[in-house]
Structure formats: structure tokens, C-alpha cells
Amino acid sequence: MPLRRLLLPAIAGLLIFGGPTTAAEPPRVIVSTDIGGTDYDDFQSLVHLLVYADRLDIEGIISSPYGPGRKRDILTVIDHYERDYPNLKTYSDRYPTPDALRTISKQGALESAGLSGHGVSTEGSDWIIQCAKRDDPRPLWILVWGGIDDLAQALHDDPSIVSRIRVYFIGGPNKKWSVPAYDYITREHPNLWIIEANSTYHGWFNGGNQSGDWSNQGFVASRVAGRGALGDYFAGLTFGGRTRATLKMGDTPSVMYVLGDAPENPAENNSWGGRFVRAWERARVRFDHAETNPPTSEDRVETFGIVEMVYHLPASAPTNAVAALVIDGQSFPGFPDEKGAWHFLFSPKEAKSWSYKISSTVPELDGRTGGFTSYLPGAELAAKPSLRFSNWWTDNPDPALMEGVHQGARTISSRREEFLRDFALRLERCKAPATTATESSP
């Protein structure tokens, strides 16, 4: 038998899984994912989650809104996991059965909530509540890989769960698709314990050693392809006309974060999921009466903050009227309030000048334009933690920790070879059983 086969499990047992884990019990985890459509990112992260499933107590996988993604996309990945499960379980009896994973896969919201940020309960939001209220002293980690709507709905339906959960939110571009839900949480649940990672996650695929087998494409070709059904599935995921799969896995830092040695201390946690600082006041700018005084490029807003434009119309619009904010080639729904004013919310994902146009069946709204300029938060804000958001954490704005334009990303990218090497060893489990029980990693 090749020496590599003999040594693999033992080596895997010596590696650090996301940083030293000293907890006696694995973390409880629910993943909320916008998996589906043409974005391969969440598919990759779900493959990663499943090969590390013996290190976690996965209590739910929820399909969140936006795009064509649905629960069926989660089940597709589980089908590939089922083919590798006979090999995986020889390394650990803690790998969940495929049927157990199917049972805890839930459909979340199919579209964004209205202006209030909450609406009708879903299978996903109900499941969050049910799991959070279990008699278990461990906190329940909610890893949000897409829209935050189902979490907002769960908090609305049962606010008592707020003290029992911890949240790692991959924000950034995800936030702009669920601004009303995010706005609701900041408004009504400022005491929520949450990491708002708007840019740190970029360190998983930007920066670090990008040479040879460690490049995003090279790694997939040399260390992922041919590693069981999950590895081949991962390696077959292409995007944007590429002919070769490229590693992204932008949601994966949330998984590796909870496997660190001190996940409830984001400033010190030794993990592959980044380090964070206490959040300052959550930026929010409202442009009222935009029909007479629309914002312009001279108006400045913080990147990843919330921008709200409010248009007051001279007459009430028909009940079936629709309006959308068209910005950066994408469309975001507007919402009328009870007085007939229309509200448009947006969260800029990068520092630049933005321009928008409103498309609407309401003549007084249709074609209106405006703009603003967003800027990265300054490093000095890390020294001004918010008293109101006392359990809120976010990207470290220290310029020394930037990877290109991405704040905090170097807290992950600096360890690129570590986490990719460990992932590669994990994928080896998919194609071959452990040789003996004593060689299996814990």
C-alpha cells in the first residue's frame, strides 16, 4: 500500500482544523445559504462544510432568498456527499448520514420582506427558533451566507432567542439584497451577538500564496479534482465563461471561524475565519424628500452602510404599483409606506461613485435619478465601539490588514497555505477509506 495512504489519516489528525479547538464539544451550526443559480460560491462552500461535518453539529441548512436557488440545490450537493459517505465514515463516526442532512435541509424565504424587514414565517425561520430553544448549553451559531431575511423573521417571531444565538454574517454584496431585514435587526435587536464580515472573507480567495498549486485555479485542478464525488463536483463548477473551475468559497470563513479556539472573542480567536473589531455605530443615511432634493455625487456615505431615498408623491399610487431602484446594473424593489411615500434602500459594497435611476409604473417616480459617493470607513473608527451595538463585530479597518481594497482580509489570506492544505487532506477522505481505526483523525 502506498506510504501516502498510510500516513494521510495520521497527518490529518495533527493538523489544526481552523485553529486549535479546545472546546470539549463541537459547535452547533445552522447555515443559511443563497445557493443556486449561476454563482458557484455557495456550492463550493457547502462541499467544504460537508467534508468538515464531523467537526460540527450541523442542525440545519436553510435556502435563503434571491436568485433561482432553492432547497433542491442543497439536496444536490448532499446527493454527491452520499456517494462519498462510505469512505468518510471510516474516518469518523460523527459524519452525519445523508438522510439526516436531508431532514434538516429547509426552505427559507423565497423573496425579500417588505419595508418592515419581516413578513411571513418560513420553514427556515421556524427551524431557527426550534433549534435555538433546544435544551443545550452551547450557543447556536447561525452562519449567514446570503440574505439575512430568515434570521430577521425568526427574531421577530420569537425575540427570546437572541441570547441563545451567535451570528457570522457574510455581508458585503449579500447585504444589499436584504437591506430591509438587516435594517430591522439593527433597529430592533441591537443586542444581537453578530460578526458582520463585509470584506474580511475576501482573504479566502484574494492574496496569500497564489503560485502554482496554491492559485485559485491551480488548487482546484491539482488538489480538488479526482477527490471523490464531492471533489469532482466542486471541480466541475465554472462561472462567467471560464473553462476551468476557480476557487472562491467566500462563505467558508464562517465555518472555519467557529472551529477556532475562542470563537466568542473575535479579536483574539485563532482561526482561519478572520479576526474582527468591535463595531462602531452602524452607518445609515436617509435622503428625505428626494423628489425635490435628490442626492448627488457630492453626498458621501460609508461603504457597507445603508442608504435610504424617500420620495413623497402628490397623490397615492395604485395598490398594484411597483417601483425599483436600478443601480450598478441591478434592480432593488421599492416599498410604499402607509402614507404613500416610496422608500428605496441600498447598501454600497465598494468605495466609488454611484448613480441610480428609478423604474416604476408610477409616472411621478419613473425615470427619477440621483447618486452618491461611498468611502471606506477610517481606521480611527475601530477605537470608537458603539455602546448600543455592544455585541456587534466587524472588519478591522487597519490599513495594514487590507488585501487590496478589502479591509481585514489579510487576517485570513496570511494563512492561505494552512487552510488550503487542510481542505485538500479532507478531500482525500472522499476517495479512500481510512486504513485502520487507529489512523483516523479525531
- What pLDDT digit, counting tens, does each position of 298-341 carry? 999 999 999 999 999 887 777 789 999 999 999 999 999 988 89
Q: Is the per-residue pLDDT at 10 higher than 60? A: no
The total number of structural domains in the chain stands at: 2
Residues 96/58, Cβ–Cβ less than 8 Å: yes
349 pLDDT band (50/70/90 cuts)? very high
408 and 261 in a single domain? The answer is: yes
- 269 with 132, same domain: the answer is yes
User: Which range is least confidently modeled, 21-35, 153-167, 250-264?
Assistant: 21-35
Position 39 pLDDT exceeds 80: no
Residues 248 and 317 in one domain: no
Which of the four pLDDT bands, split at 50, 70 and 90, describes residue 110? confident
Cell 448600543 locates to 388
Cell numbers that stand for 314 in this block: 402628490
What is the spatial distance between Cα 192 and Cα 156, in angstroms, rounded to a whole number?
Answer: 12
8-state DSSP, 175:
G
Q: Which residue range(s) make up the domain with 292?
A: 284-375
Residue at which a domain ends, from 354, 375, 396 = 375
What is the pLDDT at residue 305?
98
For residues 260 and 291, membership in a common domain is answered with: no
- The pLDDT of residue 364: 92
Q: What is the pTM of this model?
A: 0.93
Residue that terminates a domain, selected from 319, 350, 375: 375
CATH code of the domain in which 97 resides = 3.90.245.10
Same domain for 334 and 199, yes or no, is no
Predicted local confidence at residue 243, as pLDDT: 67
Distance CA 252, CA 101 (A): 18
**Side-chain half-sphere of 249: how many Cα atoms within 13 Å?**
32
pLDDT at 366: 96
Residue 84 in 3-state DSSP?
helix
User: CB 211: neighbour CB atoms within 10 A?
Assistant: 8
**Pick from 375, 399, 426: which residue ends a domain?**
375
| Res. 8 pLDDT band, cuts 50 70 90 | very low
- Supply the CATH number for residue 306's domain: 2.60.40.10
